[in-house]
Amino acid sequence: MCPRIKAIHLLQIAREALSNALKHASATEVTVTVSQRDNQVRLVVADNGRGVPDHTERSNHYGLIIMRDRAQSLRGDCQVRRRETGGTEVIVTFIPEKTFSIQ
């Protein structure tokens, strides 16, 4: 997969996580962090909303399913979990090809 397509997948995951925070979580604050360390790219979208429900694996959560599918297409992982301090955290990690840049 070319680096441009990988960047689009990462951007769309972030967009969906932001959309979920606004539409479903009643969040008043959302942070987005993208970092690269030890050959691994990490995207974290965290909000202070009401937290993801425990039943997020149900089939009607298409946005979450698509985020996970996009992460898998990057040969990576997408975790969606309730934060200890409240709210939801979406964490995507993957190891990019040498030509990928987060700039």
pTM of the model: 0.86
Name the residue with higher pLDDT: 4 or 78: 78
Residue 28 lies in a domain: yes
- In what order do the strands lie in the sheet containing 40-47? 30-37, 40-47, 88-94, 77-82
- pLDDT value at position 60? 63
Task: Supply the CATH number for residue 44's domain.
Answer: 3.30.565.10
Residue 26 lies in a domain: yes
> Is residue 101, in this structure, part of any structural domain at all?
no
Q: Which residues pair with 38 in a beta bridge?
A: none
72 within 8 A of 21, measured Cβ to Cβ: no
The total number of structural domains that make up the chain: 1
Which residue did the predictor score with more confidence, 92 or 63? 92
Domain range enclosing 26: 3-94
Residue 102 maps to a domain: no
Of 22-36, 62-76, 89-103, the range with the lowest mean pLDDT is 89-103
pLDDT digits (tens, 9 = 90+) for 15-64: 999 999 999 889 999 999 999 998 899 999 999 999 887 665 555 678 88
Task: Tally the C-alpha atoms within 13 A of residue 53's C-alpha that lie toward its C-beta.
Answer: 9
